[in-house]
């Protein structure tokens, strides 16, 4: 009798883990709020996301509402919506009201239609991605361009130039794959050296000017582990 009871409890418990019927809420991923309400994406392939099998996954953002979509085996798949959306009884994402963005993923890469909408529901940008390759545009809430960049296989292909809501470039970022190499802002410049030795994960050089060649070095910060770097540094520097 005890064995049967334990078996029933085990079956119920495991079914709750692997067959979630409600969306899985997690901490924000993919978007960080920076100067004046602008934002940047780090929505690259293979990002660190839950791998609990097939689950619904919600990403909460400060601009553009909430991002809804599905993770399957650790990768974004199918239709994703930003705005007033939810999941139906079959766990498919559906619009419930105003939508700001519609996008589709295949094995973690944008694939098929990509649409941006304004506050009135009018399409302000529409394109097609093919396995992470295409022209990516993001906009401020007032409709001005935040950035425009070609991506290949899900990664940026050049220096990312960020515009404020008045159209002026206020920052530049250069990535190698999903790794930020340097950041240049209006008043500062930060450069990263990864694994400079066996005991250090990254060294961060901070310069006074916004030109890497002319700027004088402020200081160098060292972080032993990736976790320490994320916990201490990334929350302070955009």
**Cα three-residue angle 229-171-158, rounded to 5 degrees:** 85
The b-or-e profile of 194-229 (16+ CB within 10 A means b, else e) is eeeeeeebbbbbbbeebeeeebeeeeeeebeeeeeb
**71: its two tokens:** 């993770």
DSSP 230: I
Query: Which pLDDT score, from 0 to 100, does residue 169 have?
Result: 92
Phi and psi at residue 227, in whole multiples of 5°?
-65, -45
Mean pLDDT, all residues of the chain: 76
Radius of gyration of the chain (CA): 21
Contacts (Cβ under 8 Å, ≥6 apart) of 101 = 64, 67, 80, 81, 82, 83, 114, 115, 116, 117
In-domain check, residue 223: no
* Nearest-angstrom CA–CA distance, 34 and 136: 19
In-domain check, residue 99: yes
Query: Which pLDDT score, from 0 to 100, does residue 40 have?
Result: 53
In-domain check, residue 140: yes
With beta carbons less than 8 A apart as the criterion, state whether 115 and 99 touch.
no
Query: Which pLDDT score, from 0 to 100, does residue 42 have?
Result: 58
β-pair partners for 94:
86
Query: Which pLDDT score, from 0 to 100, does residue 187 have?
Result: 77
Query: Which pLDDT score, from 0 to 100, does residue 28 have?
Result: 37
In-domain check, residue 107: yes
Nearest residue to 106 (alpha-carbon basis) of 140, 130, 134: 130
Per the structure, the complete domain to which residue 115 belongs is given by: 21-186
Indicate the helix (H) or strand (E) that contains 104. strand 93-106
In-domain check, residue 167: yes
Indicate the helix (H) or strand (E) that contains 6. helix 2-18
pTM, 2 dp: 0.74
* Nearest-angstrom CA–CA distance, 99 and 123: 10
Query: Which pLDDT score, from 0 to 100, does residue 112 have?
Result: 97
With beta carbons less than 8 A apart as the criterion, state whether 213 and 219 touch.
no
Q: Over pLDDT 90: what percentage of the chain?
A: 32
In-domain check, residue 220: no
Which portions of the chain are predicted below pLDDT 70?
Answer: 1-42, 46-57, 59-65, 210-211, 233-238
In-domain check, residue 174: yes
**83: its two tokens:** 């705005």
* Nearest-angstrom CA–CA distance, 78 and 26: 19
In-domain check, residue 116: yes
**Number of compact structural domains in the chain:** 1
């Amino acid at each position: 009798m005890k064995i049967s009871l334990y078996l029933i409890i085990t079956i119920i418990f495991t079914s709750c883990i692997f067959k979630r019927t409600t969306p899985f809420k997690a901490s924000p991923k993919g978007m960080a709020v920076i100067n004046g309400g602008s934002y940047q994406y780090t929505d690259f392939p293979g990002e660190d996301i839950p791998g609990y099998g097939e689950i619904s996954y919600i990403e909460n953002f400060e601009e553009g509402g909430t991002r809804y979509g599905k993770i399957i085996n650790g990768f974004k798949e199918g239709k994703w919506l930003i705005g007033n959306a939810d999941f139906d009884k079959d766990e498919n994402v559906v619009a419930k009201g105003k939508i700001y963005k519609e996008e589709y993923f295949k094995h973690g890469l944008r694939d098929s239609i990509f649409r941006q909408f304004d506050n009135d529901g009018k399409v302000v940008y529409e394109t097609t991605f093919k396995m992470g390759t295409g022209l990516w545009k993001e906009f401020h809430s007032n409709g001005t361009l935040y950035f425009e960049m070609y991506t290949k296989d899900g990664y940026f292909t050049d220096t990312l130039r960020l515009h404020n809501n008045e159209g002026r470039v206020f920052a530049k970022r250069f990535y190698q794959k999903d790794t930020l190499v340097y950041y240049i802002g209006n008043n500062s410049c930060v450069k990263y050296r990864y694994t400079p030795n066996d005991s250090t994960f990254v060294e961060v050089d901070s310069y006074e000017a916004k030109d890497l060649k002319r700027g004088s070095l402020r200081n160098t910060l060292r972080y032993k582990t990736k976790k320490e770097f994320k916990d201490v540094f990334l929350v302070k520097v955009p």
